[in-house]
Chains A and B, each alone.
Chain A
Amino acid sequence: MIGPTLRAEWTKLRTIPGPAWLLAGVVVSTIAVGSAAAAATTCRGGACGVDPARLALVGIQLGQAVVAVLAVLCMGGEYGTGLVHVTLAATPRRMTVLAAKASVLAAVVAGAAALAVAGSLVVARMILPGHGIPLPLGDAPVLRAAAGSVLYLVLIAGLALGIATVVRDSATAIGIVLALLYAYPMVIRVVSDPAWLRRLERLGPTTAGLAVQATTGLDGQSIGPWRGLGVLAVWTGVALTVGAVVLHRRDA
């Protein structure tokens, strides 16, 4: 029975201009920040401790906020306008609604993220070698960083969707998501004890999740690339599960 619900969600998403603009925003903001950072970085004379893939994909730091807005509006927007009553009347199986929303969202975010990541890498490939930083696009670690970044954005969308389902209010939901994305990495920076800092890095959704972008100095990272993305997947899984439970139990 998920087929019609999927189509309904897809129709909702494509027939208003907001999501299309936001998806375009993901692509543009990611590439813009990445190319600006690449243009600002030069390395003269060998080792500068720059991870070229991480630098090229730094735009994800901005792109993730746009993805979060899209995901939050996908659910919070329905509560804001009351459309959720119609949706749940049409599809009384609430799990199906959430699953359909998550699937459609994952698909469109994956598409936009793939464009954003590919664009960022291509632009960085044109800029960085001239600045003394080689960026081997065909290397396995760089491909891992690229694929991982796409998955990262999809998981952030799921996390934001889950949180929006739990709190039902767009403003509160985006506040919580932005706190996780931006306040958490800032707040843990004051922890001076290196062991504690590494522990907190391994726990945070972005600090662990973005480990997948690392291509150099992997031994110095507090968590491996795929395991880091796994931590984010756990966050997303928990948020969507709690969202599913409260959606099921609660009046809309």
Chain B
Amino acid sequence: MAGFLRRRSRQTWHRRLRAEWTKFRTVRGWVVAMTLAAGAIVGLGLLSGQQGSCGRQGPGSECVLPVGPEGQRVVDAFTFVHKGLDGDGTLTARVTSLTGDLPPASDGGPPRPGPAPWAKAGLIVKDGTRAGSTYAAVMVTGDHGVRMQHDYVHDRVGRPGAVTASSPVWLRLTRAGPTVTGEVSTDGVRWTTVATVELPTLPATARAGLFVTSPQYAEAVSGLVGAGAMSAPTEATATFDHVQVTGAPAGPDWTDDALGRPRGPAAGSLGPVGVERTGSEATGGVVFSITGSGDIAPAGAGAAGMGATITQTLVGTFAGLIIVVVVGTGFVTAEYRRGLIRTTLAASPHRGAVLAAKAVVAFAVTYLTGLVAAAITVVFGPRVLRANGVYVHPADLATQVRVVTGTAALLAVAAVLAVAVGVLLRRAAGAITIAVVGIVLPYLLAVTVLPAAAAQWLLRVTPAAAFALQQSAVEYPQVANVYLPVDGYFPLPPWAGLAVLVAWTVLALAAAAVRLHRRDV
């Protein structure tokens, strides 16, 4: 008996699904609209007007970023005064100043006093001068105290405080096999360890020396559409004295190099980057004054970085989302308008099941449509951008799959939310507006008018959090940038973002089920 009932209820459920699917596919407007939604996503993704200069100025202008030892694309540009270090050894120096300018404010005026918060000056041991090679460095920074960094993405915090003539900072870097230790001191006598790191691929003979660099400075500016960001290169100059190398210095003298300096027009207004030496061994040691520009860090997108991410190819999601919401709402409100809902509920008196069947059909149709559209966009969009000379940060397969399935899930859950709001309101215009405004407006406000803290909050708690599924860039605290969602940076991890939208949708569905149950049609 129980088995019979279960089989019967399964058949009823299949019939309900079939009925809802038939309703959907036989309304020409909805089929056309879903095609339009897919077309909007693909079209806006592929017909991007974005133009870049990569590869446009002849050979050598192709944008190729070095790859770090852990696989990330990196920036490896700094002024390097170095000599060979054969086997184990220790490098010591005192930094007595770190100065530089910030670019003028966006509304004009003179350059502002710096140095850039992430200007870096210190000691480094590195596998040669090849861009992207393994390294470890201990350094003073413009505004983030003493740090020990290695292999581009790792950052350890040391003593806070800036460098001045009255409070110089002693730095010491010791190599013992694959282990590199960074230490800091105020007097050159008592030392504190900042960090000890392992560089497994550092060869026996490495280059070691002094380095100075200063990254692209980015800040948010408000425009007509809303906040954007501007950025400009910066330069820093540091003074080193009491430079000592113990261990096995293989080379007799220091070599000066400006590694990874942009060539051609990209070099812009950078002044001469160089190294000055004053004093000599006889007068109590050489004093190095080193000027550098660039960064030793993971490469990013956005204002302080370069190029686009695959997130940008999916901008059509906004247009697609609105169409999907119109269809999802209409799937319910059209029945109320035509009175078909009475027939539906007479044929299938279990109202909760009718709602579930509608939600399942809306989800499935939208998911498949979104999946196809997003897959086409993510596969071909970056090719179009690259053909236009725009650098597109490569995303690994797992990220691409997550962005594509995530976009489909975002659209599909939004369609279910639209179904639920449609049941709650029964009127198309109001329901569509609530669903669209609930998902899109927080995002719009977050990227336009609101200050960063409020914007991050909105992107965490409102349904707009689900856009985090399209995240394709990694945010590093040790890289100064204006991290905007348009560039692929979101405050929540992808699946947490989806969970927020799902929570709102479940809430709306529950309210819709209660409403449908309690109220006459």
Which positions in A face B, CB cutoff 8 Å? 33, 36-37, 40-42, 47, 49-51, 54-55, 58, 61-62, 65-66, 68-69, 72-73, 76, 80, 170-175, 178-179, 182-183, 185-193, 196-197, 201, 207, 210-211, 214, 217, 220-223
Q: Which 7 A-B pairs have the closest CB atoms?
A: A40-B454, A171-B428, A175-B326, A183-B318, A170-B429, A186-B318, A174-B429
CA distance A185 to B246 in the complex (A): 60
Are the C-beta atoms of A41 and B451 separated by less than 8 Å? yes
**Contacting residues, chain B, for A214 (C-beta < 8 A):** 224
In the complex the two chains form, is A189's CB within 8 Å of B449's CB?
no
B454 to A186, Cβ gap below 8 A? no
| CB < 8 Å neighbour of B330 from A62, A171, A211 | A171
B486 interfacial by beta-carbon distance below 8 Å: yes
CB distance from B59 to the nearest CB of A (A): 24
A-B contacts, 19 of them at CB < 8 A, read A37-B449, A41-B450, A41-B454, A50-B222, A170-B427, A171-B326, A172-B29, A172-B326, A178-B437, A182-B318, A182-B444, A183-B322, A185-B444, A189-B225, A189-B447, A192-B51, A193-B49, A193-B51, A214-B224
Further contacts, 20 of them, CB under 8 A, given A179-B319, A185-B448, A201-B224: A40-B451, A41-B450, A41-B454, A50-B222, A50-B451, A65-B437, A69-B430, A80-B337, A171-B329, A175-B326, A178-B322, A186-B315, A186-B440, A192-B50, A192-B308, A193-B50, A193-B51, A207-B224, A211-B224, A223-B224
State A189–B316 Cα separation when bound (angstroms): 11
Interface centre among A62, A173, A190, A196 (most CB of B within 10 A): A190
In the complex the two chains form, is A220's CB within 8 Å of B429's CB? no
Centre residue among B52, B334, B430, B486 by max chain A CB count within 10 A: B430
Residue of B nearest to A22 (CB): B430
- Considering the chains assembled together, what is the distance between the CA atoms of A239 and B437 in angstroms? 23
From A80, A171, A187, contact of B319 by CB (8 A): A187
* Range for the number of chain B residues in contact with chain A: 35 or more
A49 touches B429 (CB 8 A): no
CB of B445 within 8 Å of the partner chain: yes
Known: A171-B432, A174-B428, A183-B322. A220 touches B445 (CB 8 A): no
Cα A21 to Cα B69 with chains together (Å) = 62
How close is A173's CB to chain B, nearest CB, in angstroms? 8
What chain B residues lie within 8 Å of A220 (beta carbons)? 106-107, 223
Name which residue of chain B comes closest to A33, CB basis: B445
A33 to B441 alpha-carbon distance, docked (Å) = 11
Closest B residue to A186 by beta carbon equals B318
Chain A residues whose C-beta falls within 8 Å of the C-beta of B105 in the assembled complex: 47
Residues on the B chain within 8 Å of A40, using CB: 450-451, 453-454, 457
Verify B444–A207 contact, CB threshold 8 A: no
Of B223, B440, B457, chain A has the most CB atoms within 10 Å of the CB of B223
Picked from A73, A186, A223, the residue with its CB within 8 Å of the CB of B444 is A186
B482 within 8 A of partner (CB): no
Nearest opposing residue in chain A for B311, CB measure: A190
Q: Chain A residues near B308 (CB, 8 Å)?
A: 190, 192
B residues 99-122 in Cβ contact with A at 8 Å:
105-107
Residues of chain B within 8 A of A223, CB atoms compared: 224
Q: Give the interface centre of A47, A174, A188 by most chain B CB atoms within 10 Å.
A: A174
Nearest Cβ on chain A to B428's Cβ, whole angstroms: 4
Chain B contacts of A183 at CB under 8 A? 318-319, 321-322, 440
In the assembly, what is the distance between CA of A182 and CA of B319, in Å? 9
B266 to chain A, nearest CB (A): 16
Q: Which residues of B contact A69 (CB under 8 A)?
A: 429-430, 433
Considering residues A47, A55, A170, which has the most beta carbons from chain B within 10 angstroms of its beta carbon? A170
Q: Does B355 contact A (CB under 8 A)?
A: no
Chain B residues lying within 8 Å of A68, measured Cβ to Cβ, are: 433
Cβ of B440 and Cβ of A196 under 8 Å apart? no
A37 touches B429 (CB 8 A): no
Kindly list chain B residues whose C-beta atoms are within 8 Å of the C-beta of A197: 225
Check B429–A72 contact: CB distance below 8 A.
yes
Contact of A174 among B315, B316, B432 (CB under 8 A): B432
Tell me the complex Cα distance, A156–B448, Å: 20
Contacts of A50 in B (CB 8 A): 222, 451
CB distance from A221 to the nearest CB of B (A): 5
List of A residues within 8 angstroms of B428 by Cβ = 170-171, 174
Which B residues are in CB contact (< 8 Å) with A42? Answer: 451
Q: A178-B432, A193-B51, A196-B49 are in contact. Are A37 and B450 (CB under 8 A)?
A: yes
- Asked if B436 CB lies within 8 Å of chain A CBs, one says yes
For residue B104, give the distance in angstroms from its CB to the closest CB of chain A: 13
In the complex, the answer to whether A62 meets B441 with C-beta atoms within 8 Å is: yes
Find the B residue at minimum CB distance from A182.
B440
In whole angstroms, what is the CA distance A185 to B322 when docked? 14
Rounded to whole angstroms, the CA-CA distance of A40 and B448 in the bound complex is 14
- Whether A171 and B444, one on each chain, are in contact in the complex, defined by CB atoms closer than 8 angstroms, is no
Contact A221 B224 (CB under 8 A): yes
Contact of B44 with A by CB under 8 A: yes
Q: Check if A222 sits within 8 Å of B224, measured CB to CB.
A: yes
Complex: A197 Cα to B229 Cα, angstroms: 14
Specify which chain B residues have a CB less than 8 angstroms from the CB of A174 in the assembled complex.
326, 428-429, 432-433
Shortest CB distance A189–B (Å): 5
CA distance A61 to B29 in the complex (A): 29
CA distance A73 to B430 in the complex (A): 9
B462 at interface (Cβ–Cβ under 8 A)? no
Query: B432 touching A49 by the CB < 8 A rule?
Result: no
A55 to B44, CA, bound (A): 30
**In the complex, chain B residues whose CB is within 8 Å of the CB of A175:** 322-323, 325-326, 432
Q: Residue B225 contacts which of A37, A41, A171, A201 (CB distance < 8 angstroms)?
A: A201
B399 within 8 A of A: no
Per the bound structure, the CA–CA distance linking A197 and B223 in Å amounts to: 11
Asked whether A58 and B224 contact (CB < 8 A) given A174-B428, A179-B319, the answer is: no
